[in-house]
């Protein structure tokens, strides 16, 4: 796989109180996916991580989604302004040869179209609906 076809590193997590949680971590050439129908169940023995090896085409598609979502223009943090303590937390760390992104949110997100574009890219990369 060409070095520029996949990021140098990728970490994504989203999870919330009483809801599903998803975690993605790039380990060398392997993308490790953990998914759980509810927060806190991600470490249960029956939910073993899935090891994925996306093709260069899938990586290129994902990075195209990242570009069209203008992830590089996202705020570093999307703060919870409603004071809700048991909502959804998310974090994205993405490092390529061209840019580094670190952003997160707590019951707050980038604009809907951009956020949905990122989630669509993650779906295309993993085959898992991440919400």
* pLDDT of 90 above 80: yes
**Residue 87 lies inside a defined structural domain of this protein:** yes
Each residue of 104-119: pLDDT tens digit? 999 899 999 999 999 9
**Residue 131 lies inside a defined structural domain of this protein:** no
Structure tokens at 23: 């975690």
- 1-8: long-range contacts, CB 8 A cutoff, minimum separation 24: 1/29, 1/55, 1/56, 1/59, 2/56, 3/97, 4/96, 4/97, 5/56, 5/59, 5/60, 6/54, 6/56, 6/59, 7/59, 7/63, 7/94, 7/95, 7/96, 8/95, 8/96, 8/97
State which residues form the domain around 68. Answer: 3-126
* Residue of 25, 33, 19, 5 whose CA lies nearest to 107: 19
Each residue of 35-88: pLDDT tens digit? 887 655 455 544 678 999 999 999 999 999 999 999 999 999 998 877 666 778
**Residue 69 lies inside a defined structural domain of this protein:** yes
pLDDT band at 5 (very low <50, low <70, confident <90, very high): confident
pLDDT at 1: 41
Domains held by the chain: number: 1
* pLDDT of 7 above 80: yes
Distance CA 88, CA 91 (A): 10
**Residue 67: in which H helix or E strand, if any?**
helix 56-68
The answer, as to whether pTM is greater than 0.85, is yes
pLDDT at 119: 97
CATH number at residue 115: 3.30.1560.10
């Amino acid at each position: 796989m060409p070095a520029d076809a996949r990021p140098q590193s990728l970490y994504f997590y989203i999870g919330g109180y009483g809801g599903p949680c998803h975690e993605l971590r790039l380990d060398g050439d392997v993308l490790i996916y953990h998914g759980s129908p509810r927060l806190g169940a991600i470490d249960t023995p029956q939910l073993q991580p899935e090891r994925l090896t996306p093709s260069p085409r899938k990586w290129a598609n994902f990075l195209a989604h990242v570009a069209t979502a203008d992830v590089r223009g996202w705020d570093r943090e999307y703060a919870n302004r409603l004071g809700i303590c048991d909502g959804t937390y998310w974090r994205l760390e993405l490092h390529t040869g061209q840019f580094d992104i670190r952003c997160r949110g707590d019951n707050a997100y980038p604009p809907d179209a951009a956020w949905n574009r990122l989630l669509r890219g993650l779906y295309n990369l993993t085959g898992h609906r991440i919400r």
